């Protein structure tokens, strides 16, 4: 990683801008909602503004959402205000760090949607998170983590560490609350020696008449992990793999797609257990 880039953990953008661009992976909301409805009680790590949290509540589950940023949790609470009282009573939001949390109870299901696990930039952080999750799982509980599978073709095409891509116009959305246009520009810098990707995100807001109203930038760091690296990490941290899926429809794992892991705590006596 280029020496002039220093990880600013975690990535943060204002909730209105974040919600316009962080729309998840196709099918993920339905997938996690179905799991939550069956489990009845779920802990979501890095819940953000509640994109997945609220649908899990609507599926009938009791949901505890944990996030590091208070402003994100405030946005999730605002979303929950629109729910029936019976559903709102099933929501608990907690400010905390997924690398070390203590909630005083166990869950039959813990989920880490939409690459949030990849905000953990070192193996030490990854292991700390997995250890905290294991302490909070019921004996038959499941941990479900979604990360992207690193595309080797893209990595090979950008193998000059410190060399940033041009600032590209990635998306354009209309804020339904204000009618303003929000344009997102992204520049990417690879860091293959430590499996990090650094991106600079620039948000620009435009009035309806085309005037630029505001522009701000945010840094995003993600650590990518390969399939067998994740298998070894789970074993090291005392888990058994239940399944690896390649998408949210139950499709097989494919290079460059999703790594959708379901794991459970290994029996006592196994490595890491």
Residue corresponding to tokens 């799991």:
35
* Mean pLDDT within 222-245: 97
Say what the pLDDT of residue 216 is: 87
Q: Are strands 107-112 and 41-45 parallel, antiparallel or unpaired?
A: parallel
pTM: 0.90
CA 127 vs CA 19, 50, 100, 183, 265: distances in Å: 29, 25, 10, 36, 14
Residue corresponding to tokens 């983590």:
145
3-state secondary structure of 129: helix
- Lowest mean pLDDT, pick from 114-128, 138-152, 181-195: 181-195
C-alpha of 151 from chain center:
18
Say what the pLDDT of residue 2 is: 34
- Lowest mean pLDDT, pick from 66-75, 118-127, 160-169, 195-204: 160-169
Residue corresponding to tokens 């095409």:
157
* Mean pLDDT within 106-135: 98
Residue corresponding to tokens 């907690």:
94
Say what the pLDDT of residue 167 is: 87
Mean pLDDT (the chain) is 90
- Band the pLDDT of 18: cuts 50, 70, 90: confident
- Band the pLDDT of 159: cuts 50, 70, 90: low
- Band the pLDDT of 7: cuts 50, 70, 90: very low
Say what the pLDDT of residue 272 is: 61
Query: Measuring CA to CA, which residue among 230, 247, 256 is closest to residue 154?
Result: 256
β-sheet with 239-245: strand ranges across: 91-95, 62-67, 41-45, 107-112, 137-148, 258-265, 239-245
Say what the pLDDT of residue 155 is: 67
DSSP bridge partners of 97:
100
- Band the pLDDT of 158: cuts 50, 70, 90: low
Say what the pLDDT of residue 14 is: 66
More confident residue, 187 or 28: 28
In the chain, the largest separation of any two C-alpha atoms, in whole Å, equals 66
Say what the pLDDT of residue 190 is: 81
Is the per-residue pLDDT at 5 higher than 70? no
Say what the pLDDT of residue 151 is: 87
At 38, which helix (H) or strand (E)? helix 28-39
- Band the pLDDT of 166: cuts 50, 70, 90: confident
Q: Convert the pLDDT of each residue in 173-209 to its tens digit.
A: 899 888 999 999 998 888 888 999 888 889 999 999 9
Measured in degrees and rounded to the nearest 5, phi and psi for residue 41 equal: -150, 120
DSSP bridge partners of 244:
261
Is the per-residue pLDDT at 85 higher than 60? yes
* Mean pLDDT within 152-169: 68
Is the per-residue pLDDT at 226 higher than 90? yes
């Amino acid at each position: 990683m280029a020496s002039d880039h220093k990880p600013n953990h975690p990535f943060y953008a204002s909730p209105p801008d974040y919600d316009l661009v962080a729309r998840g992976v196709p099918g993920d909301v339905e997938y996690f909602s179905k799991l939550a409805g069956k489990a009845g009680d779920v802990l979501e790590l890095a819940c953000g503004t509640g994109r997945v949290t609220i649908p899990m509540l609507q599926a009938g589950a009791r949901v505890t959402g944990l996030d590091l940023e208070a402003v994100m949790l405030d946005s999730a609470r605002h979303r929950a205000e629109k729910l029936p009282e019976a559903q709102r009573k099933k929501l608990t939001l907690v400010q905390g760090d997924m690398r070390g949390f203590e909630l005083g109870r166990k869950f039959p299901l813990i989920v880490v949607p939409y690459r949030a696990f990849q905000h953990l930039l070192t193996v030490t952080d990854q292991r700390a998170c997995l250890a905290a999750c294991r302490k909070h799982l019921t004996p038959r509980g499941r941990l479900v983590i979604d990360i992207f599978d690193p595309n080797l073709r893209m990595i090979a095409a950008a193998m000059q560490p410190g060399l940033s891509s041009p600032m590209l116009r990635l998306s354009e959305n209309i804020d339904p609350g204000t009618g303003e246009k929000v344009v997102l520009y992204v520049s990417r810098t690879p860091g293959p020696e430590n499996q990090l990707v650094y991106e600079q995100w620039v948000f620009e807001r435009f009035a309806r008449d085309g005037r630029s109203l505001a522009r701000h930038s945010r840094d995003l760091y993600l650590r990518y992990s390969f399939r067998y690296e994740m298998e070894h990490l789970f074993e090291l941290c005392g888990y058994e793999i239940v399944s690896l899926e390649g998408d949210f429809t139950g499709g097989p794992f494919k290079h460059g797609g999703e790594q959708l892991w379901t794991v459970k705590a290994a029996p006592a006596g196994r490595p890491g257990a």
